[in-house]
Structure 1
């Protein structure tokens, strides 16, 4: 069997194309998810250095609750109710006021995702006073436990994606062997530095720019490999057939 993309049998082309389509869609959805979470950490749409700083280092001038209500959770409650929650956090998170004023708002606006009956992806149950009081403290960004969990999921999960993307691209033709090898290796290197940059930003906000650069770097390399693979499997053989001899 010929191990170049243009000469692969139809069954393998179909297999690789299906994988590429799903992975490509997954990368787009992941980008959208980042825009809707980290991308709104500063209250504005789009990824910025401030978004990364607030997500990992935190905005320590305010509480995490206030930053969330003015950022990614801004559309979850009207301004009047968000103001009540923010004022409660600023005034010291009083327990009696939580029961009389804050908890009804939380149960109506937040419990569908942050309640004990509808926990999603280990989100905190903020219908409980102790949990919400902790969020009313100074925002120090991602905690070590969640950062460790996300790091290992990111490293294991995305490395599998890049392995198969690189394997398919390794059959591409027309590339210098060093250029091809570098393109295959780049996403793995950028992935490692990306996760390292999360931890560095947690310690020092000056490293936030690294997170943006590394994420863009491995996304670009993966995009080049995905589109090149599709082109060489389906377009290049047709061009060879149509070209004059």
Structure 2
């Protein structure tokens, strides 16, 4: 019994290729924006532009020579307040965050520069309340277990679905050894699990910080290869006319293969 030839990317119907292309372009732009967001948050954890091992360690293990508030003000939050006001907050945290300074000195700064985000955005502390800011004035030990758990499950569920779509489309690519194609499809999932596991390992032991960078780099490269390969094969790869029969075979001929 003959079977219908498997439809590879160059021979997919136009509407399907348009659908796949829209998805891949949106995912590609999303990955670029995610990279920029990492540079603006984790990449500033040590107070210097660019992503380094220190940034990773400070983000997950913490900078245990400083308070969490000081680390944030000298890192990812550095651009949100003038140097003088930031230094006032840092000095207050170093002195143990006394409540006596809240109303006359600290609260006006917080109201002007902090609460626009730290009172309206879900998942971050409300700095209208002194207790929340005093909690940030403790030694920086990185994210809490509860916070790390929340972020981990969001990443695993959400990003896995993105990689599923990219891998599903790439599964229609032609010219690849099935074993190599399968390894490339599974690679982003493996690197994602490695990345998230490395967050927890780095919180426990800072020496695992390099594993976070390796995992993130790995799934970025694997997904980029699949995205560009799929786009190229759908729109630029020339297929001999004799191989395009799947596109043009009459319905009766297709039925005869069943």
State the TM-score bracket (shorter-chain normalisation): over 0.9
2:112 to 98, 108, 115: 108
User: 1:141-220, aligned counterparts within 5 Å?
Assistant: 141-220=142-221
Asked whether 1:48 is paired with 2:52, we answer yes
1:121 Cα deviation after fit? 3.0
The alignment yields a C-alpha RMSD, in angstroms, of 1.1
1:99 Cα deviation after fit? 1.6
CA distance in 2, matches of 1:158, 1:75: 29
Match of 2:121 in 1: 120
Match of 1:229 in 2: 230
Match of 2:32 in 1: 28
User: 1:58-97, aligned counterparts within 5 Å?
Assistant: 58-97=62-101
1:122 Cα deviation after fit? 1.5
Match of 2:248 in 1: none
1:127 Cα deviation after fit? 2.4
CA distance in 2, matches of 1:43, 1:65: 13
Any gaps of 5 or more consecutive residues in structure 2? 242-258
Match of 1:16 in 2: 20
Q: Deviations over 1:23-42 (max 9, x none)?
A: 00110111111111111000
Q: Deviations over 1:138-190 (max 9, x none)?
A: 00001111100110010000111111111110111111111101000111111
Runs of 4+ aligned structure 1 residues displaced above 3 Å come to none
Q: Which has the larger radius of gyration?
A: 2
Q: Deviations over 1:93-114 (max 9, x none)?
A: 1101112100100000111001
CA distance in 2, matches of 1:231, 1:33: 28
CA distance in 1, matches of 2:185, 2:86: 47
